Amino acid sequence: MNKKELLHAATTVMNNAYVKYSNFKVGAALLTKSGRIFTGCNVENSSYSATICAERVAFTKAISEGESEFEAIAIVNSSDNFAYPCGICRQFMSEFGLDLKIFISNDKELREHTLKELLPFAFTEFKSGT
């Protein structure tokens, strides 16, 4: 897997973020086990809670194209800080496996985690094999 390529894809799509309210751009690039990359950016809404995060946009794009097995996701943002996935995104992503690798960059440093680390004691009641 080419981490640099994944981070580059996340950075490119971040520029398309629709952030009229927070001005905080997030970009995500999701690598499928089959080797495809799906990108997503955050899309905000005047009814704030209708906003969707970059991570969930990438996932829904991939799933709607028939993918359901994922290797890694790269997440970047427009500030100097690390943008860790929000709780809703952690739960959403956990549906598709806790072994997902998560690369988070603040443009200077790259941190690597697994979803399992970011969502310990995940809710797995209806899932088999977890």
18/123 with CB nearer ligand THU: 18
The phi and psi torsions of 60 (rounded to 5 degrees) equal -70, -35
Confirm if 29 and 6 have CB atoms less than 8 A apart. yes
Smallest gap from residue 63 Cβ to ligand THU (A):
17
44 scored as a contact of ligand THU (CB under 6 A):
yes
32/77 with CB nearer ligand THU: 77
SS3 label, residue 7: helix
Q: Are strands 70-77 and 101-105 parallel, antiparallel or unpaired?
A: parallel
Q: Are strands 110-114 and 101-105 parallel, antiparallel or unpaired?
A: antiparallel
What's the burial of 4, exposed, middle or buried (CB within 10 Å: 0-12/13-18/19+)? exposed
16 scored as a contact of ligand THU (CB under 6 A):
no
Say whether 55 is catalytic: yes
22/124 with CB nearer ligand THU: 22
How far apart are the C-alpha atoms of 53 and 89, rounded to whole Å? 7
Binding to ligand THU in span 71-130, by CB under 6 A? 83, 85-86, 89
Candidates 9, 14, 54, 93: give the one binding ligand THU (CB under 6 A).
54
Contacts to ligand THU by CB under 6 A: 19, 22, 24, 26, 42, 44, 51, 53-55, 83, 85-86, 89
